[in-house]
Structure 1
Amino acid sequence: MFFCIFILGNAYAASLEITLVAVVVLLLASLIQSAFRAGHAVLIALVPLFFYIHIPYVLPVIAGLSLGLMSIVPISIGIMLYYFIEYMAGHTAVAASQGDITAMATAYAGLFGNLFKDKEAIVAILAFALCVVVVFIISQIPFDESWIVAAGAGILTTAVTTFFGHMHFGLETSFIDMLPGLLLSCIVSIAYVFAFHAVDYQRTERLRFEDDDYVYFVKAVPKLKSEDEDD
C-alpha cells in the first residue's frame, strides 16, 4: 500500500496521464502478485523498499534460504518495479510537457521500452537470480554452518556479478560505494540465520535404527533454544 501511494504521488506530480499509466502498471503488478503464494508475493513489494534503505542484497539471500528457486520470479518483478519508480521519477516530466497526443504516446511507449532495456536493471536481476541459486544449493548441502556459508556466498555472488556486469555494460560502478550495503546486508542475513535457523552443532547426535526393510543412519542437530524455552 505504501508503495502504491508513493508511486501514484510521484506520477500525479508529473501529470494526470502519467498517473493513469502508473495505475495500469500497479494493477498488472497486483495481478501478477496474486499468482504467487503470500511468502513469494510479498517480495515484489519488499524489493523496492530494501533498495531505498540501501540493503537490497539481503533479500535474495533470505529468499534462497527460506523460499527456494521460485522466489527468483517475484524478486525480478520487484526489481523492475523499483526501476520503473526511478525511471518515472526522472523522466515523466518530459513526457508531461508534450502537448501533442502523438508525441505523448511516443514518450509513454519510450517509458516502458527504455525500462526493459535498462542495463542496470538487467544486471540486478541477473545478480539476484544467481544469488538465490547459489544460496539455495549451498544451504541444501548437509555440512555444519551451511546456512551461514550460503548467506556469505550469496552476498559475494551478488557483489561479483554486479561489479563485472557493470563493467561489461560500461556502467559506472564503485565497489567502495557498494561495500557499506554489502556489509550491512551480510550482517542482516547472518542475523536472520541465527534468528530462524540457529542450531547447536556441539550437541549433534548420530543415531542408528532399523525396521524390517531398512537400516537408518540419522544425523540430528538440535535447535538452539532460549532459556525461557528450556524452562
Structure 2
Amino acid sequence: MMPLLVFRERVKNIYHRYDIYIKPVIKFIFAFIAFQMINREIGYDTRLESLPVILGLSLLSAITPSAVMVLLATGVAILHVYVASPILSIIIVVLLLIIYFLFARFTPHLGYVLLAVPILYFLKVPYLMPILLGIVSTPIAIIPMACGVVVYYIIRVIQTAVTMQVNTTVDDILQLYTYVMDSIIDNKQMILSIVIFALILIVVYYVRKLKFDYAFEISIAAGALASILGFLISDFLFGQSDKILSMILGTLASAAIVYIIQFFQLTLDYSGVENVQFEDDVYYYYVKAVPKVTVTTPQMKVKHINTKNAEKGSVNAAQNQDDLEDDEEYDDEDDGYSDN
C-alpha cells in the first residue's frame, strides 16, 4: 500500500506544480476525442473531418470554457447534418439549441459532462458518469448528464433519419419532423436511462454523505449495485437480455475506474478517527475528525563529484605528504647537529 501512496503523492505534486500546463492539455485531448467521435458517427461533411480543422477546434476548446467547447461541438454536428439533409438539420438545430440553453442556464461549468456521456456510451461504459458525479459533484449535475443522454439518442436518430428520402413537399417534411420528435419524446428507453442515471447519482451522493467509515468506498459499491439493478430491469423491459453481461462488466469496470479516481483525489485514515466535543454560547458540537492519508515522498539526494577537483585534491594531498616527509627529515638533521 505504501508504494501506491508514494506514487499518488508524486502524481499529485507533479499535477499541482504544472497544472497550468496540464489542464489545457487534458482539455485539448478531451476535445479532440469529442470531435473525432462526432466525425465518426455523423461525419457527412469530409471537410470537417480534416486533421487541421479538428486540431484547430481542439486548440480553441483547450483555451476557452467548457461551454464554448459544447457550442463548437453543436455547430460541427449541425454542419454535418446539413450536408446530409438541410431539412433535418433545421430540426436538429432546434433540439440541440434547447439542450444547450438548458445546460448553459444551470450548469455552464459542467460542459465536459454533456460531451462525455455520449462518448462513454460509444465506449460501452456510460455507467461511469453517474457514479463519478455522485462522488465529485452534487445532484445539480443531473441536468448536464441528462442532456448528454438525450444527445446520444439524437445522434442515433440522425443516423437513421438521414437515410430517409425527403423531398421539399410539406408532407415529407412533416413526416420527417414527426419521426424525429417521436423518436426523442416517446423514447421510453431514453427516459428510463435518464431516470436510472439520476437515481445512481443520488444514491452515490447521499451514501458518501453518511457519517460512517469508508463512506466513499461504500457509495461507489452502492452506485454500481443500483446501476446493475436498474439497467437489469431496463434490459428485461425492452427485450435486450443479450446486453446484460456487457452491462454488468461495464458497470464493474466503471466502479473500478471511479475508485481509482477517488484514491487519487482523497484517501482517509479511519484508524485515526477522533471524536471531538466543544461548545459555544449557542450550540454544543459533536465533531468526527477523520485524518487524510498523507505520506512524504522520499527525496533523492544526488552528490555531484567534480573529477577535476578530485584530481586536484589528490595532487595537493600528495604534495602535503611530501612536505611532511621533508619536515621530518629536516627535524632529524637538526637533532643530529644538536647531539654533536
Would you say same fold, with TM above 0.5?
yes
Q: Does 1:18 align with 2:18?
A: no
Q: Does 1:28 align with 2:107?
A: no
Once the two structures are superposed, residues 7-47 of structure 1 have per-residue CA deviations (whole angstroms, 9 ceiling, x without a partner) of 33551452222233333333222211111234444422221
Return 5+ residue gaps in structure 2 as ranges. 1-30, 36-72, 299-340
Residue 68 of structure 1 corresponds to 138
User: Secondary structure of the equivalent of 1:208?
Assistant: strand
- 1:171: how far off? 4.3
CA distance in 2, matches of 1:42, 1:142: 30
Q: Does 1:79 align with 2:149?
A: yes
Runs of 4+ in 1 over 4 A off after TM superposition: none
After the TM superposition, which of the residue ranges 43-52 and 138-147 deviates more from structure 2?
A: 43-52
Evaluate the alpha carbon distance shift between residue 214 and residue 103 of structure 1 in structure 2; reply closer, same or farther with a 3 A threshold.
closer
Residue 268 of structure 2 corresponds to 199
CA distance in 2, matches of 1:163, 1:98: 42
Aligned residue identity for 2:274: E
CA distance in 2, matches of 1:30, 1:228: 45
Aligned residue identity for 1:44: L
CA contact (8 A) 1:167 1:173 kept: no
CA distance in 2, matches of 1:197, 1:157: 23
CA contact (8 A) 2:124 2:250 kept: yes
Return 5+ residue gaps in structure 1 as ranges. none
Q: Does 1:100 align with 2:169?
A: yes
- 1:92: how far off? 2.3
After the TM superposition, which of the residue ranges 59-68 and 154-163 deviates more from structure 2?
A: 59-68
CA contact (8 A) 2:103 2:143 kept: no
Any residues of structure 2 matched to 1:53-64 within 5 Å, and which? 53-64=123-134
- 1:122: how far off? 1.9
Any residues of structure 2 matched to 1:63-212 within 5 Å, and which? 63-94=133-164, 96-98=165-167, 100-212=169-281
CA contact (8 A) 1:163 1:173 kept: no
- 1:85: how far off? 0.7
| Percent of paired sites with the same residue | 25
Residue 288 of structure 2 corresponds to 219
Q: Which has the larger radius of gyration?
A: 2
Aligned residue identity for 1:22: I
Evaluate the alpha carbon distance shift between residue 54 and residue 13 of structure 1 in structure 2; reply closer, same or farther with a 3 A threshold.
farther
User: Secondary structure of the equivalent of 2:275?
Assistant: strand
CA distance in 2, matches of 1:189, 1:149: 12
CA distance in 2, matches of 1:39, 1:151: 24
- TM (normalized to structure 1)? 0.86
